[in-house]
Amino acid sequence: MSIVGRHLLGLDGMGAEEIQFLLDSADSFREIAEREIKKVPTLRGKTVVSLFFESSTRTRTSFEIAAKRLSADFVSVNASASSVSKGESLLDTARNIAAMSPDALVVRHSRAGAPHFLARHVGCPVINAGDGAHEHPTQALLDLLTIRKEKGRIAGLKVAIVGDILHSRVTRSNLYALRTLGAEVRLVGPPTLVPRQLASWGDLHHNLEEGIRDADVVMMLRLQRERQGANFLPSLDEYSRYFCLTSAALDAAKPDAVVLHPGPINRGVEISSDVADSNRSAILDQVANGVAVRMATLYLLAGRVRDTEQRQTA
Ligand code: NCD
């Protein structure tokens, strides 16, 4: 029996052993990207459907490349958010897709819980590619893989997550996993985006330099303007004056601190170009590791022999 569940909906509640297993599996897929022929037959004959109700380039492309490197067929459905504002139509969309017997469904939705809902109604594994401000498990796994590669471990590291913590699904998934793996987490940003109620999740800081002092990892976040109401920030200028990671600010972190960002980056708003392009930035490594993480996820979930197939061959 695999230690990995049937779906990948979030990292909340996932044990250290399962997270490490996913990271180890992803690690073993990294090497395929360096081959001249970047394709293995592992998922030949399987169909992966991506159902994105929110825009995405990076994540969808990453899943597509991952599926294709495993020889799966990849079908991308670009669903518009307006057509699914009612639970029923989401269910109908899902039932229609399920009727075509995909082997995995990759879902992104602006509402928290949408992938969990679908997982209860379609007969195939569901992978959450981001649900509202809730979770984004494959992003956190690729962040962890990048940190582990750079630092050789996760346990005991000081990780500062900086920016729009409140609206960040990337933060939530990272928090669950980083804490499970024994990292020390700090949440850094203005009080409107790092409210006191989050104190049980990590040390809260409203000053960038204090927050990243002696950090081993500085994880910058994009401002989630699409999820923010009005009044979270006086202005972008003011935000960047206090919270943009410049090389001067980065001096507060450990000299070998690694800088992460899930992308897309807003240069000059949350991170300066010299930091984003410096050798302390692992932003493009994150993108490369993302393909490996998604290959591992698809392999472990879509590659599973279905119950009915198992019965026929028993
Ligand atoms: C993240 C997301 O969509 O949550 N981006 C991504 O997956 N590439 C982070 C973000 O949009 O800021």
Write down how long the chain is: 314
The atom of ligand 1 lying closest to the CA of 169 is 4
Cα-to-centroid distance, 132 and ligand 1 (Å): 10
- The topology (CATH level 3) of 16-134+289-313 is Rossmann fold (3.40.50)
Residue ranges around ligand 1 (CB below 6 Å): 58-59, 130, 136, 139, 169-170, 222, 262-263
- Is the pLDDT score of 82 beyond 60? no
* Amino acid letter, 145: L
Position 53, amino acid: F
List the CATH code of the domain at 137-286: 3.40.50.1370
3-state secondary structure of 140: helix
User: Which residue(s) pair with 159 in the sheet?
Assistant: 185, 217
- Whether 200 shows a pLDDT value over 80: the answer reads yes
How much distance in Å is there from the Cα of 226 to the middle of ligand 1?
12
Whether residue 1 is predicted with pLDDT greater than 90 in this model: the reply is no
- Please give the distance, rounded to the nearest whole angstrom, from the Cα atom of residue 1 to the centre of ligand 1: 33
Query: How many Å apart are CA 263 and CA 59, to the nearest integer?
Result: 10
| 77 pLDDT tier (thresholds 50, 70, 90) | confident
Going by CA atoms, what residue is nearest to atom 9 of ligand 1? Answer: 262
Tell me how many degrees the CA angle 69-72-78 measures, rounded to the nearest 5.
100
Average pLDDT over residues 244-256: 98
Mean pLDDT over residues 172-180, rounded? 97
Residue 305 CA to ligand 1 center (angstroms) comes to 31
Does position 309 have pLDDT exceeding 60, yes or no? no
Q: What is the pLDDT of residues 92-151, one digit of tens each?
A: 888 888 899 999 999 999 999 999 999 999 999 999 999 999 999 999 999 999 999 999
What is the Å distance from ligand 1's center to 313 Cα?
41
- Amino acid letter for position 152: G
**pLDDT value at position 225?**
76
* 134-143, 276-285, 301-310, range with the lowest pLDDT: 301-310
Domain boundaries of the chain, sorted by first residue: 16-134+289-313, 137-286
Region of residue 267 (phi > 0: left; psi between -120 and 50: alpha; otherwise: beta) = beta
Counting from 1 in the atom list of ligand 1, the atom nearest the Cα of 108 is 3
Residues with Cβ within 8 Å of 55's Cβ and at least 6 positions away in sequence, in order, are none
Q: Which atom of ligand 1 is nearest to the CA of 136?
A: 4
Q: What are the helix (H) ranges across the chain? A: 16-29, 58-69, 87-98, 114-121, 137-151, 169-180, 208-212, 236-243, 247-250, 273-276, 283-302, 307-313
Q: Flag whether pLDDT at 194 surpasses 90.
A: yes
pTM given for the model: 0.94
Sort strands 158-162 and 126-131 into parallel, antiparallel or unpaired.
unpaired
Best mutation site among 58, 65, 139, 267 for ligand 1, i.e. most ligand atoms within 8 A of its Cβ?
Answer: 139
The string of DSSP codes covering 59-95 is: HHHHHHHHHHHTT-EEEEEE--GGGGSSHHHHHHHHH
Per-chain mean pLDDT for the chain? 92
pLDDT tens column, 215-248: 999 999 998 877 776 678 878 889 999 999 999 9
Q: Compute the distance from residue 138 Cα to the ligand 1 centre, in Å.
A: 11
pLDDT reported for residue 81: 53
Same fold, 16-134+289-313 and 137-286: yes
